[in-house]
């Protein structure tokens, strides 16, 4: 399949192009470069320099490159400019969409993804906006997008065009890095720009009917937007279409909250400039993303702090949480050398680990693609696998635990898994770009796919496994893997016992925002989250899905009288409502800024040994594992307890003493020190060195 991306040299377009390339698809870009950057277009991608309103040019591009589908992104997007120059927006946005549709109809291209906007909704009422809300644009920009949607839907009926319409909310973050920094009017980049220049960011209106008087918006990372386009393309190629989807995070943040996040990330105590409201700005616009998650299997992976940190890093690269300083030139990978990291969209833990690994490899000069391993399966089955895993873990944990334990005891579990995955190996090879210099498996099934390919010689570059779990399950280990990166000596011993070759203690990594906080930061954090200024607080988390005996654990913590629980229910709305009714402790839904919340509390209580536990350790927060979930939760609890980085409480009667001991006792300080020590090593260094060494060995010695 070949996809034409109009506006592919732009901010969103560049990220979409990269995402499509990572799936093995052929891409062509059409862009007049009036606002796009040619550096955003990879050298292997044909670039047609033409206006999207030029029907003849669009038609030639479709024919000459044998295009089978179009992703239409090109257009103007400033609300304020559209109010001042409405005809310009109708000419470009409506006229451009008309030209594209006519060219597609002329040459018989029958698949289209249309870039639309939440601006079509206007100023809707209610907490979140679903796709069935009646559109009522409040400005010319929103009107041009709605008219474009109407044209696509009408043309689909007339010409049989399969289409998906994506309504973006507020896009931020960094996708494709180019030598030229982008400039636009979006809040996050413009505010970060102002702060880095030593100026005051501007707030348009502090008199809206919102908690802090500023507008509330739904911010979504540009990489998540790009992933939504890939999901739409998958659906169209499988024969689906005719749907409209919101693309947002499903969480609202006020302008004031965005500025607070920028203060936290930059450490700059700036004062904003308040101006009058802008015409056409609604007070609150937040997406409902249930439909796209249900039908396309898409969900956002990045939060507001990630977007702000990306924008800050793009302007002034910051050292990581260990303050190691800039990477010396001698340690940089070959510029442009590509490493593919294989993860799986089965929870935020894997996403967070691979995202940070990709970021650090990018700092070292590598070009990094993160590939969801579920994409090697046929369309639709990836969503089925994810849903089955989630449903079993949430509703029948004993089944998951039994299967997990059986695989641990069954000697042939790993070989059986490899045999079952054999048909997917060819698909994985097709998805790997031809210039791949190294592959990192960050999920057990990925190891079982990559290992055999490496062992047979079909994969000629180094294959590494990044053991994201402390407890090493047999499915993690596959013959053919060159290097295994383990968290701790306890994990290394388990991997070696299972037959892994070259297992290295590589430490752990989390986002740079997770660092120990001061007493002043603790006070500020409690104020921000509306928590009491005094007394012990125990943060209770259960992953992005809110899995496990969370309500019972909250009651047990409260019953000790030692600490008050602060429960993060993530996306589990049922759990949130249940705890609200019970009135136990402080109940929160999805929390984007976990680093600040961790500064507010005294101990973390968790049940899986995943990313949140590591983030707490990086913040110098003691961790208690209690009522661990079946399977990997118990395996991680045992291994982490052996490593003395967590306290595993096995009985309710022992909980009170354990909380006191880790918050105020000597054991807690030892545990904090052991946790912080995990971050003295960097798995990205192991990956970078392995790839560089393989490259050096492949280059003939001219003296030889």
pLDDT single digits (tens) 663-684 = 999 989 999 999 999 999 999 9
Model confidence at 561, pLDDT cuts 50, 70, 90, reads very high
Helix (H) or strand (E) holding 312: helix 304-315
- Domain span at residue 394 reads 335-509+686-698
Name the phi and psi angles at 526, rounded to 5: -65, -40
Q: Of 89, 121, 141, 245, which one is the catalytic site residue?
A: 141
CA angle 253, 149, 282 (to 5 degrees): 30
Looking at the fold, whether 381 and 479 belong to one and the same domain comes out as yes
Q: What is the arithmetic mean of pLDDT over 208-212? A: 81
Which pLDDT value is given to residue 704?
Answer: 45
Tens digit of each residue's pLDDT (9 = 90 or more) over 388-405: 655 665 666 667 667 777
DSSP state for residue 646 in the 8-state scheme: S
List CB contacts of 253: < 8 A, sequence separation 6 or more. 216, 217, 218, 219, 261, 304, 592
579 within domain boundaries: yes
CA gyration radius, the chain: 25
- Same domain as 655, residue 565: yes
Measuring CA to CA, how many Å separate 401 from each of 389, 632, 679? 12, 8, 30
- For residue 703, being part of any structural domain is answered with no
- Torsion angle of alpha carbons 193, 198, 199, 201, nearest 10°? 50
Helices (H), 90-133: 95-107
Q: What is the CATH number of the domain that holds 574?
A: 3.40.50.2000
Between strands 26-30 and 47-48, the pairing is: parallel
CA pair distance 271, 267, nearest whole angstrom: 13
Contact 189, 171 (CB under 8 A): no
Same domain? 157 vs 213: yes
Q: What is the pLDDT of residue 332?
A: 36
Residue 324 within a domain: no
* Collapsed DSSP state (helix, strand, coil) of residue 5: strand
Question: Residues 655-666: what's their mean pLDDT?
Answer: 94
What is the pLDDT confidence band of residue 567, given thresholds at 50, 70 and 90? very high
Phi-psi region of 247 (alpha: psi -120 to 50; beta: other; left: phi over 0): beta
β-bridge partners, 129 = 287
Query: What's the half-sphere exposure (Cβ side, CA atoms, 13 Å) at 582?
Result: 20
**Is residue 595 included in any domain, yes or no?**
yes
320, part of any domain: no
Which residue from 186, 357, 159 is spatially nearest to 255, judged by alpha carbons? 186
pTM of the model: 0.56
Same domain membership, residue 638 and residue 668: yes
Measured in degrees and rounded to the nearest 5, phi and psi for residue 354 equal -70, -35
φ, ψ at 241 (rounded to 5°) = 150, 180
Q: Are residues 664 and 618 in the same domain?
A: yes
Burial of 287 (0-12, 13-18, 19+ CB in 10 A): buried
Summarised one tens digit per residue, pLDDT across range 166-206 is 999 999 988 876 655 555 567 888 898 888 888 888 888 88
Residue 642 included in any domain: yes
pLDDT digit string, tens, across residues 139-150: 999 999 999 999
pLDDT at 651 over 60: yes
Q: Clarify whether residues 487 and 378 are in a common domain.
A: yes
**Could you tell me if 343 and 471 lie in one domain?**
yes
The pLDDT value given to residue 329: 32
CATH number of residue 151's parent domain: 3.40.50.720
Share the mean pLDDT of the chain: 86
Active site residue 141: yes
Same domain, 500 and 545: no
Structure tokens at 7: 């506006």
| CA–CA distance, 661 with 254 (Å, rounded to integer) | 39
**What is the DSSP code string of 216-232?**
EEEEEEHHHHHHHHHHH
Q: For residues 174 and 71, which has the higher predicted lDDT (pLDDT)? A: 71
Do residues 99 and 241 both lie within one domain? yes
Tens digits of per-residue pLDDT, 536-551? Answer: 999 998 765 557 788 9
Q: Is 478 left (phi over 0), alpha (psi -120 to 50) or beta?
A: beta
Segment 75-89, tens digit of pLDDT:
998 888 899 999 999
Q: For the chain, how many structural domains are there in total?
A: 3
Q: Is residue 704 part of a domain?
A: no
User: Are 578 and 607 in a shared domain?
Assistant: yes
Structural domain contains residue 326: no
Q: Which residues contact 16 (CB under 8 A, 6 or more apart)?
A: 5, 8, 71, 73, 225, 226, 229
* 549 & 445 share domain: no
Are 665 and 536 contained in the same domain? yes
């Amino acid at each position: 399949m070949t996809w034409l991306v109009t506006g592919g040299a732009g901010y969103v377009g560049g990220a979409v192009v990269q995402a499509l390339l990572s799936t093995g698809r052929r891409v062509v870009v059409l862009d007049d470069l009036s606002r796009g950057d040619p550096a955003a277009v990879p050298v292997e991608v044909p670039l047609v320099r033409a206006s999207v309103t030029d029907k003849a040019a669009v038609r030639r591009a479709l024919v000459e490159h044998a295009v089978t589908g179009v992703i239409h992104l090109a257009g103007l997007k400033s609300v304020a400019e559209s109010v001042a120059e409405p005809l310009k927006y109708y000419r470009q946005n409506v006229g451009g969409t008309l030209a594209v549709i006519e060219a597609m109809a002329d040459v018989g291209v029958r698949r289209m993804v249309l870039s639309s906007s939440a601006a079509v909704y206007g100023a809707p009422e209610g907490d979140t906006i679903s796709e069935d809300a009646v559109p009522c644009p409040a400005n010319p920009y929103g009107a041009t997008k709605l008219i474009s949607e109407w044209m696509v839907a009408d043309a689909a009926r007339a010409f049989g065009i399969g289409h998906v319409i994506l309504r973006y909310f507020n896009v931020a973050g960094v996708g494709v890095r180019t030598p030229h920094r982008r400039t636009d009017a979006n809040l996050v980049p413009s505010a970060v720009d102002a702060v880095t220049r030593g100026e005051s960011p501007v707030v348009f209106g502090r008199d809206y009917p919102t908690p802090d008087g500023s507008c509330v918006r739904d911010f979504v990372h540009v990489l998540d937007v790009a992933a939504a386009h890939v999901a739409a393309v998958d659906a169209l190629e499988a024969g689906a279409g005719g749907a409209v989807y919101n693309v947002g995070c499903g969480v609202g943040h006020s302008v004031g909250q965005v500025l607070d996040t920028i203060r936290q990330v930059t450490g700059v105590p700036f004062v904003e400039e308040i101006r009058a409201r802008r015409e056409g700005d609604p007070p609150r616009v937040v997406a409902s993303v249930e439909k796209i998650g249900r039908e396309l299997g898409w969900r956002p992976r990045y939060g507001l702090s990630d977007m702000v940190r990306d924008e800050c890093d793009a302007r002034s690269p910051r050292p990581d949480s260990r303050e190691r300083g800039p990477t010396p030139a001698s340690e940089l990978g070959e510029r442009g050398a590509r490493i593919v990291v294989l993860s799986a969209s089965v929870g935020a833990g894997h996403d967070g680990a691979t995202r940070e690994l990709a970021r650090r490899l990018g700092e070292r000069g590598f070009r990094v693609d993160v590939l969801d391993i579920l994409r090697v399966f046929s369309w639709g089955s990836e969503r089925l696998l994810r849903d089955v895993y989630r449903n079993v873990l949430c509703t029948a944990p004993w089944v998951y635990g039994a299967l997990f334990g059986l695989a641990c005891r069954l000697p042939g579990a790993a070989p059986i898994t490899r045999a079952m995955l054999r048909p997917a190996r060819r698909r994985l090879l097709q998805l790997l770009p031809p210039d791949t210099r190294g592959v990192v498996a960050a999920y057990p099934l990925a190891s079982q796919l990559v290992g055999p390919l490496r062992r047979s010689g079909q994969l000629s570059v180094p294959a590494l496994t990044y053991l994201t779990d402390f407890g090493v399950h047999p499915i993690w280990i596959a013959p053919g893997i060159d290097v295994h990166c383990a968290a701790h000596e306890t994990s290394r011993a388990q991997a070696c016992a299972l037959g892994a070759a070259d297992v290295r203690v590589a430490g752990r990594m989390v986002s740079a925002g997770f660092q120990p906080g001061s007493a002043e930061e603790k006070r500020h954090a409690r104020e921000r989250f509306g928590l009491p200024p005094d007394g012990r607080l125990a943060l209770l988390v259960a992953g992005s899905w809110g899995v496990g005996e969370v309500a019972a654990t909250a009651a047990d913590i409260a019953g000790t009288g030692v600490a008050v629980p602060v429960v993060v229910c993530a996306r589990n709305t049922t759990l949130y409502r249940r705890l609200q009714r019970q009135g136990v402790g402080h109940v929160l839904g999805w929390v984007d800024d976990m680093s600040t919340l961790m500064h507010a509390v005294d101990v973390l209580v968790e049940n899986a040994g995943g990313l949140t536990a590591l983030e707490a350790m990086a913040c110098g927060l003691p961790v208690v594992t209690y009522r661990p979930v079946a399977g990997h939760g118990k395996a991680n609890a045992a291994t982490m307890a052996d490593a003395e980085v967590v306290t595993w409480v096995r009985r309710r009667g022992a909980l009170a003493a354990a909380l006191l001991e880790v918050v105020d006792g000597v054991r807690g300080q030892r545990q904090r020190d052991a946790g912080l020590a995990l971050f003295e090593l960097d798995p990205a260094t192991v990956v970078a060195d392995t790839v560089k060494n393989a490259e050096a060995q492949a280059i003939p010695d001219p003296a030889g």
